């Protein structure tokens, strides 16, 4: 069952520029609500009058200023009318494809507002789609993720979520929990009858199965988060090892300040890029130098925090210098499983012989790169991709990408675990039924079967205006 939107706000007609700010070939204005067609007919100066518009058919005509139709046209547009309920929002929708001039689009928008629409809030079209039962909450979140996706695989995952894949999986687990719960509750109400809705499968086994499905979905978050947000890579190493140069080389353009005085990269410089279908967020940190000034110490503290928060660490070592105590100390601070070591400056004679030390500490063999000649960069990109450790198999079960979904799955998991303990301990069935209901509610919050205005405000405020 879908929660009802207050009647008043449903009746309002909303409008927005749906294309991004700035100039472009086309700009799209969206109008949704009961007055959409009336608003269009006030602005429309075209050979076919609005009353004669066939649904979902494009018409060419001029848009003029409302309420002063005698003034010249604002723009020549293509207009389409899509009647309720078979539309994105479930309401009457008008879309105008105008020329992508910010001035023109603003003028058309204000003409729509003069005609009786109100500017839409961020995500309001999608919120209306949710309220009309067109999509559930997880699908709506998929829409936002698809728009924000930075890597191809993340985009594909978001499209699947938008298509209802996660919702179907969550709903199916929720239904199984509901059925077990009904059985348990029947046993409470009619203790003398031998209730067996599970086809003979013991209730405790069915609870355990639901629990393992919930946990498997929860565990997909590590991968989902990487696909959605990109892999966060902290680039660390001593000053002058070539961290900024290596980052620039991977990124293929100059953004970080490359300087030959040690200790210049005090702030974290970030570079976002995408390769192998995956988004990467490279973060060039301050050096990790032991005897440092006050400003550098702050930088070092930040570097340690970056290492902590990174999915991967790229340790850049100057291969032309002998490995010294400081370098060894740096290795001892890093988590070998998450670290890729490169010996940079491979164009210079090699002096750093650290392979044995690295192997001793559990690191994989280092890669050899030259930020100067570009040697080894393809291998480095491939290694980063490999170490992100994503399963190559797409299409095996849903993957969650949102911290909100993860928290709710964790809630459902602990409720189911308690339900199982309660069953195994032979406690009165009410306890188990209570935990099962908690689990069901947590899952319901993922798809929005259970929701609050607050939650909806939080989710839809992340959207852009016009979506």
The only residue of 19, 89, 97, 265 in contact with ligand GDP, by rule CB under 6 A: 265
Paired tokens of 424: 């195994």
Please, what is the minimum distance in Å from the beta carbon of residue 382 to ligand GDP? Answer: 18
Q: Which is nearer to ligand GDP, 217 or 269 (CB)?
A: 269
Strands 278-284 and 118-119: what pairing? unpaired
Show contacts with ligand GDP in window 81-120 (CB under 6 A). Answer: none
CA angle 370, 372, 373 (to 5 degrees): 75
Please, what is the minimum distance in Å from the beta carbon of residue 264 to ligand GDP? Answer: 6
Please, what is the minimum distance in Å from the beta carbon of residue 358 to ligand GDP? Answer: 19
The only residue of 240, 303, 402, 413 in contact with ligand GDP, by rule CB under 6 A: 240
Q: Which is nearer to ligand GDP, 217 or 371 (CB)?
A: 371
The only residue of 86, 188, 197, 348 in contact with ligand GDP, by rule CB under 6 A: 348
CB atoms within 10 A of CB 275: 15
Please, what is the minimum distance in Å from the beta carbon of residue 376 to ligand GDP? Answer: 9
Alpha carbon 204 to its chain's center = 36
- Give yes or no for a contact between 238 and 318, defined as CB atoms under 8 angstroms apart: yes
**With CB under 6 A as the contact rule, which of the stretches 18-26, 97-105, 170-178, 341-349 interacts with ligand GDP?**
341-349
The only residue of 213, 225, 243, 406 in contact with ligand GDP, by rule CB under 6 A: 243
Q: Does residue 237 bind ligand GDP (CB under 6 A)?
A: yes
How far is Cα 330 from Cα 234, in angstroms, rounded to an integer?
Answer: 14
Binding mask 368-387 for ligand GDP (x = CB under 6 A): --xxx---------------
How far is Cα 76 from Cα 96, in angstroms, rounded to an integer?
Answer: 10
Please, what is the minimum distance in Å from the beta carbon of residue 365 to ligand GDP? Answer: 19
How far is Cα 120 from Cα 290, in angstroms, rounded to an integer?
Answer: 54
Alpha carbon 184 to its chain's center = 38
Counting Cβ atoms within 10 Å, is residue 156 exposed (0-12), middle (13-18) or buried (19+)? middle
The only residue of 30, 345, 435, 467 in contact with ligand GDP, by rule CB under 6 A: 345
CB atoms within 10 A of CB 424: 12
Q: Does residue 241 bind ligand GDP (CB under 6 A)?
A: yes
How far is Cα 243 from Cα 256, in angstroms, rounded to an integer?
Answer: 10
Instruction: Provide DSSP, 39-105.
Output: HHHHHEESSS-GGGPPTT-EEEEEEE-SS-TTSPEEEEEEEEEE-TTSSSSSS-EEEEEEEE-HHHH
Paired tokens of 181: 């719960």
Please, what is the minimum distance in Å from the beta carbon of residue 301 to ligand GDP? Answer: 18
**With CB under 6 A as the contact rule, which of the stretches 96-104, 105-113, 342-350, 419-427 interacts with ligand GDP?**
342-350
Total binding residues toward ligand GDP, as defined by CB under 6 A: 19
Q: Does residue 330 bind ligand GDP (CB under 6 A)?
A: no
- Give yes or no for a contact between 187 and 228, defined as CB atoms under 8 angstroms apart: no
The only residue of 42, 244, 422, 440 in contact with ligand GDP, by rule CB under 6 A: 244
Q: 2-20 burial, b for 16+ CB within 10 Å, e for fewer?
A: eeebeeeebeebbbbbbbe
CA angle 19, 25, 27 (to 5 degrees): 30
Q: Does residue 245 bind ligand GDP (CB under 6 A)?
A: yes
Q: 172-195 burial, b for 16+ CB within 10 Å, e for fewer?
A: ebbebbbebbebbbebeeeeeeeb
SS3 at position 314 = strand
Q: Does residue 26 bind ligand GDP (CB under 6 A)?
A: no
**With CB under 6 A as the contact rule, which of the stretches 190-198, 343-351, 400-408, 420-428 interacts with ligand GDP?**
343-351
Please, what is the minimum distance in Å from the beta carbon of residue 222 to ligand GDP? Answer: 30
**With CB under 6 A as the contact rule, which of the stretches 149-157, 243-251, 323-331, 441-449 interacts with ligand GDP?**
243-251
**With CB under 6 A as the contact rule, which of the stretches 39-47, 241-249, 307-315, 350-358 interacts with ligand GDP?**
241-249
Please, what is the minimum distance in Å from the beta carbon of residue 349 to ligand GDP? Answer: 10
Please, what is the minimum distance in Å from the beta carbon of residue 287 to ligand GDP? Answer: 6
Q: Does residue 259 bind ligand GDP (CB under 6 A)?
A: yes
- Give yes or no for a contact between 319 and 245, defined as CB atoms under 8 angstroms apart: no
Q: Does residue 253 bind ligand GDP (CB under 6 A)?
A: no
Q: Which is nearer to ligand GDP, 222 or 372 (CB)?
A: 372
Please, what is the minimum distance in Å from the beta carbon of residue 242 to ligand GDP? Answer: 3
Paired tokens of 294: 């006050």
**With CB under 6 A as the contact rule, which of the stretches 22-30, 365-373, 405-413, 442-450 interacts with ligand GDP?**
365-373
Q: Does residue 347 bind ligand GDP (CB under 6 A)?
A: yes
Q: Which is nearer to ligand GDP, 69 or 293 (CB)?
A: 293
- Give yes or no for a contact between 387 and 374, defined as CB atoms under 8 angstroms apart: no
CA angle 301, 305, 308 (to 5 degrees): 145
Contacts to ligand GDP by CB under 6 A: 237, 239-245, 258-260, 265, 344-345, 347-348, 370-372
């Amino acid at each position: 069952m879908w929660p009802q939107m207050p009647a008043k706000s449903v009746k309002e007609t909303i409008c927005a520029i749906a294309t991004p700010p700035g100039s472009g070939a086309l700009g799209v204005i969206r109008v949704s609500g009961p007055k959409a067609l009336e608003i269009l007919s006030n602005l429309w100066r075209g050979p076919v009058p609005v009353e004669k518009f066939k649904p979902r058919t494009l018409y060419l005509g001029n848009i003029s200023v409302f309420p002063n139709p005698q003034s010249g046209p604002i723009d020549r547009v293509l207009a389409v009318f899509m009647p309720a309920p078979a539309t994105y929002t479930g309401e009457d929708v008008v879309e105008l494809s105008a020329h992508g001039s910010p001035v023109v689009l603003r003028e058309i928008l204000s003409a729509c507002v003069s005609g009786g629409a109100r500017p839409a809030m961020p995500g309001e079209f999608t919120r209306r789609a949710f309220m009309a039962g067109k999509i559930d909450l997880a699908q709506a979140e998929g829409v936002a993720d698809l728009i924000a996706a930075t890597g191809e695989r993340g985009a594909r995952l978001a499209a699947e979520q938008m298509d209802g894949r996660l919702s179907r999986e969550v709903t199916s687990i929720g239904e199984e929990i509901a059925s077990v719960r009904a059985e348990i509750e029947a046993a409470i109400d009619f203790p003398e009858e031998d209730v067996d809705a599970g086809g003979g499968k013991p209730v405790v086994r069915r609870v355990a199965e639901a629990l393992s499905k919930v946990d498997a979905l929860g565990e997909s978050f590590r991968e989902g988060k990487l696909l959605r947000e990109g892999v966060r890579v902290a680039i660390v190493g001593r000053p002058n090892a070539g961290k900024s140069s290596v980052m620039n080389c991977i990124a293929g353009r100059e953004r970080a300040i490359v300087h030959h005085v040690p200790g210049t990269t005090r702030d974290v410089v970030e570079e976002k890029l995408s390769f192998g279908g995956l988004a990467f967020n490279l973060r060039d940190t301050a050096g990790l130098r032991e005897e440092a000034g006050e400003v550098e110490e702050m930088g070092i503290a930040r570097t340690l925090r970056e290492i902590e928060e990174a999915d991967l660490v790229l340790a850049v070592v100057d291969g032309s210098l002998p490995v010294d105590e400081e370098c060894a100390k740096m290795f001892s601070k890093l988590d070998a499983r998450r670290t890729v070591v490169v010996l940079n400056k491979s164009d210079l004679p090699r002096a750093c012989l650290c392979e044995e030390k690295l192997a001793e500490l559990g690191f994989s063999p280092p890669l050899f790169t030259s930020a100067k000649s570009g040697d080894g960069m393809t291998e480095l990109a491939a290694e980063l991709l490999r170490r992100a450790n994503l399963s190559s198999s797409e299409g095996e079960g849903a993957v969650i990408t949102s911290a909100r979904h993860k928290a709710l799955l964790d809630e459902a998991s602990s409720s189911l675990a308690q339900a199982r303990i309660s069953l195994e301990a032979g406690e009165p069935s009410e306890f188990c039924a209570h935990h099962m209901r908690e689990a069901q509610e947590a899952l319901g919050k993922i798809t929005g079967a259970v929701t609050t205005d607050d939650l909806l405000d939080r989710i839809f405020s992340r959207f852009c205006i016009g979506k």
